[in-house]
Amino acid sequence: MTEPAQAIAVTDLHKRFGPLEVLKGVSLTANEGDVIAIIGGSGSGKSTFLRCINMLELPTSGSVTIHGETIAMKNDGHGGLMPSDRKQVQRLRTQLGMVFQSFNLWQHMTILQNVTEVPIHVLGKSKDEAIETGEALLRRVGLFEKRDAYPAFLSGGQQQRAAIARALAIQPLVMLFDEPTSALDPQLVGEVLTVIGDLAREKRTMILVTHEMKFARKVANHIVFLAEGVIDEQGTPDEIFGNPRSERLKKFISSIH
Amino acid sequence: MTDTTPPDVTTHAMAFTPEDLPTLRSFFKPHRIVLLLIAAALIFCIVWFMRWDWLPQYLPRLGHGILITLAMLFSTAILGFLLAVPLGLVQVTGPWPLKALAKGFCTVIRGTPLLLQLWLLYYGLGSLFPQFPAIRQSFLWPYLRESWPYGVAALTISFAAYEGEVMRGAFAGVPAGEIEAARAYGMNRWTLFRRIWLPRAIHRALPTLTGETVLQLKSTPLVATITVIDVYSVISKVRQDTFITYEPLLLLAMIYMCLTGILVITFRYLENRIPTRGA
């Protein structure tokens, strides 16, 4: 059996906000088909780490490689890094389907327009093709009937499912989920997790920052526990939840039960 | 937020929808009948007891005046808005020299009376230009000798300054998350601006722009002071010729009210193309 191809490799990532060092050297590799869940307390740097992968947050040092292509960085003159080729970042970002905590749907567009926007205006797909795939994706997340509604008229769960469809529409190599259920009412969490679980089952590569431990244990094949800016412990779900070794992880797991 | 709630009552009250239009049956309520009778009586008095014999003679000129007023309004609102977009944008994201320049422009223009700006342009620049042979020989001279370019310039600059501030607020008010989402999917700056940031900002600013455009309509009579023959100017002429005071002014008020009504309904239609809830 051949090794699965490498989708994302992050090496020795540091991120500093002024005097505060949020990430103190984090490395992570995701192969195709991996479902990696990043867990950790608030302030552990897990969202920052995810946002550094697509350069929404610029790392202070370290490198990010997407599908074998390392993002070229240069010194920004303030002790940090910035991309030296904006076009490259824009191109590589189309490989990463980001889903945000607060959905961030474009409020002036219908659900279908949200889903077809990037395929048409960034990827250069034809309108017909984009609408066809867009409608298929909306049907998948159970929102076909809502395709002509505006985001403000949808529930949080529906908005997040639409946001997932929007991310899928760019046919990304990797899906990035940044606490996708944290802004939702408890009764709406399930419908979103079902959609994400389906994606995991079909072996879509995903990196998922989440507080839903049971869900992480169920769908992920690899769990990363971040604490104070470093990977404190990582392993299979059974190792992490069944047999935690570090004190901090033990404490974290007992605190959420 | 819950599923399938009816449109929010407060925002729905502001929206102009076909259901809000009075139906024939809704007129037959006691208070409405009384009000309608009073209105009918008023109109009867206006038509019967006031002098309107001058009207047919001036109708063509009035029509022309209305066209000039509308031309002034639309040309200056459109040009002004095109200037307002960069004025607002650089105040939000521009480098500091541009930011300061835009801020200074908006402050100066908003801080001085439009009439003063108009006269400064017309009597100041207008009397300066003929002293330069280069300008007198240029292809622009036939226009610079007229008065309307100065009116258009003054009204455009004024609209640009006020709307620049409106657009600054609108650009700044677009949720950062929506901009971030666009970046996260690989949009370049121009696409992001054209597809997300600008339309979203205009959408937010539309209710304010309605009011500002109506105000602009009512600023147009100022151009009558520099000899542009708009509808206000025609009415002034009627008063001078006939020595009738109130009838022409009443008619003028009605004309402006009708134009305002048409403007408001048009903008409401634009606003309602994208329904909003809450903020």
Report the mean per-residue pLDDT for chain A: 93
Q: Give all domains of chain A, ordered by start, each with its CATH number.
A: 6-95+172-256 (3.40.50.300), 104-171 (no CATH)
Helix/strand/coil (H/E/C) assignment for every residue in A80-137 = CEEECCHHHHHHHHCCEEEECCCCCCCCCCCHHHHHHHHHHHCCCCCHHHHHHHHHHH
Mean pLDDT confidence for A35-48: 92
- pTM, two decimals, is 0.86
In chain B, which residues have their Cβ closer than 8 Å to the Cβ of A54?
184
The answer to whether A93 contacts B191, with C-beta atoms less than 8 Å apart, is no
Q: Which residue of B has its CA nearest to A96?
A: B185
One-letter amino acid for residue B41 of the chain = A
Would you say residue B69 has pLDDT above 80? yes
The beta-carbon neighbor of B196 closest among A106, A154, A155 is: A106
User: Pick from A108, A154, A155: which is nearest to B203 by CB?
Assistant: A108
Enumerate the domain spans of chain B. Answer: 70-273
Strand order in A61-66's β-sheet?
Answer: A20-31, A6-17, A61-66, A69-70
| Residues from chain A contacting residue B6 (CB–CB below 8 Å) | none
Beta-ladder partners of A63 = A11
In this complex, do A102 and B177 lie within 8 Å of one another by their Cβ atoms? yes
Q: A122 vs B187: CB contact, 8 Å cut-off?
A: yes
Distance from C-alpha of A163 to C-alpha of A184, rounded to nearest angstrom: 13
Note the helical H segments in chain B. Answer: 9-14, 30-49, 55-93, 96-110, 114-119, 126-128, 133-137, 141-144, 148-173, 176-184, 189-191, 198-219, 231-242, 246-273
3-state secondary structure of A74: strand
Strands (E) in chain A, as ranges, are 6-17, 20-31, 35-39, 61-66, 69-70, 73-75, 81-83, 96-99, 174-178, 206-209, 222-227, 230-235
B35 CB neighbour count, 10 Å cutoff:
12
Average pLDDT score over chain B:
89
* Cα separation of the two ends of chain B: 13
Is the Cβ–Cβ distance between A224 and A39 less than 8 Å?
Answer: yes
Interface test with chain A among B12, B185, B188, B192, by most A beta carbons within 10 Å:
B185
DSSP character at residue B27: G
Nearest 5°: phi and psi at A195? -65, -45
A239 interface with B at CB cutoff 8 Å: no
- Flag if B185 and A167 touch (Cβ within 8 Å): yes
CATH classification of B70-273 is 1.10.490.10, yes or no?
Answer: no
- DSSP-derived secondary structure letter, B262: H
Which of A97, A155, A166 lies at the smallest CB-CB distance from B2?
A155
B120-178 pLDDT, tens digit per residue, is 999 998 888 888 888 888 888 888 888 999 999 999 999 999 999 999 999 999 999 99
Are the C-beta atoms of residues A13 and A23 closer than 8 Å to each other?
yes
Q: What are the phi and psi torsion angles at A222 (to 5°)?
A: -150, 130
Q: Looking at the predicted structure, is the pLDDT value of residue B12 above 60?
A: no
Record: contact A93-B186, CB cut-off 8 A? yes
Q: Which of A98, A69, A100, A73 is nearest to A15 (CA)?
A: A73
Interface predicted TM-score of the whole assembly (ipTM), two decimals: 0.92
Q: Which of A126-135, A155-164, B33-42, B269-278 has the lowest mean pLDDT?
A: B269-278
Q: B180 vs A102: CB contact, 8 Å cut-off? A: no
Residue B279: which of B190, B203, B185, B188 has the closest Cα? B203
Residues of chain B with Cβ-Cβ distance to A155 below 8 Å are: 1-3
Hey, of A101, A107, A113, which one would you mutate to test binding to chain B, going by the most B CBs within 10 A of its CB?
A107
Give the distance from residue B8's alpha carbon to the nearest chain A alpha carbon, in angstroms: 10
* For helices B231-242 and B246-273, angle between their N-to-C axes, nearest 10 degrees: 170
Residue A22 backbone dihedrals phi, psi, to 5 degrees: -85, -40
> Out of B3, B177, B186, whose CB is closest to A104?
B177
Residue B93: pLDDT band (50, 70, 90) is: very high
pLDDT of res. B19:
58
Query: A227: helix, coil or strand?
Result: strand
